[in-house]
Amino acid sequence: MKKYFQSIVYIIFVAVTFFAIATAIKSYQNPFSLYEHPLVWIAIVGLITVVVLKEALNIVAQQRAEQLQMEKDGVKPEEVDNWAWAKKLISKWTEAKAIEQEDEIILDHNYDGIKELDNNLPPWWLYMFYATIIFAAVYLVRYHVLGADNQEMEYAQAVAEAKRELAAFKSIGYRFNRCWRFK
């Protein structure tokens, strides 16, 4: 019963807080202004904190349940490698050879007792290299073939726009001063 009560309270809290935040966002003209509406930010931070803490509690409970199940099955939790997935991922992404297999990739070069290994480049490095080639091709086509705006052109456009805005501001100011001077 205690487990269900906690879950029900959690669901009600999340639903009510989400509804309150949504209502505040719809009703205020500038709902994310910290100075005008600090309660909106407090509600958002509170909602995120509660959700993160609940998920952390679920993860801890799941790990404890797995440990109890392993003890029930006769497996010692200390003997289980929890990082096997990470080791498998690293070995897949680096294609590293084990020390026992280094004899297969040793080259005939021997300088001052230092032997050279013929390792392949890691796949992540190759993928990054291919991505830079694709980026360079897109950049070349966009800026040199199609003639997109470069930094100098963008700067000139920004300066021209600023001059237009300044001229418009000065003309409004001149009219404003002229209007008040003659009254």
Residues 85-126 have pLDDT tens digits of: 888 888 778 777 777 777 777 777 777 888 787 778 888 899
Which residues, 6 or more positions from 76, have their beta carbon under 8 angstroms from its beta carbon? Answer: 70
User: Considering the chain, what percentage of its residues have pLDDT values greater than 70?
Assistant: 92
Read off the pLDDT band of 174 (50, 70, 90): low
pLDDT of residue 49: 92
Least confident stretch, 71-75, 127-131, 172-176: 172-176
Count Cα atoms within 13 angstroms, Cβ side, for 134: 6
Q: If you average pLDDT over residues 129-158, what whole number do you get?
A: 90
Read off the pLDDT band of 79 (50, 70, 90): confident
User: Which of 100, 101, 98, 96 lies closest to 123 in space, CA to CA?
Assistant: 96
Q: Tell me: pLDDT of 134 over 90.
A: yes
How confident is the prediction for the chain on average, in pLDDT?
83
pLDDT of residue 92: 79
Q: Tell me: pLDDT of 179 over 60.
A: no
Read off the pLDDT band of 140 (50, 70, 90): very high
Q: If you average pLDDT over residues 146-161, what whole number do you get?
A: 89
Cα 64 → chain centroid: 30
Which residues, 6 or more positions from 16, have their beta carbon under 8 angstroms from its beta carbon? Answer: none
Higher-confidence position of 82 and 8: 8
Q: Which neighbouring-strand residues pair with 114?
A: 111
pLDDT of residue 132: 97
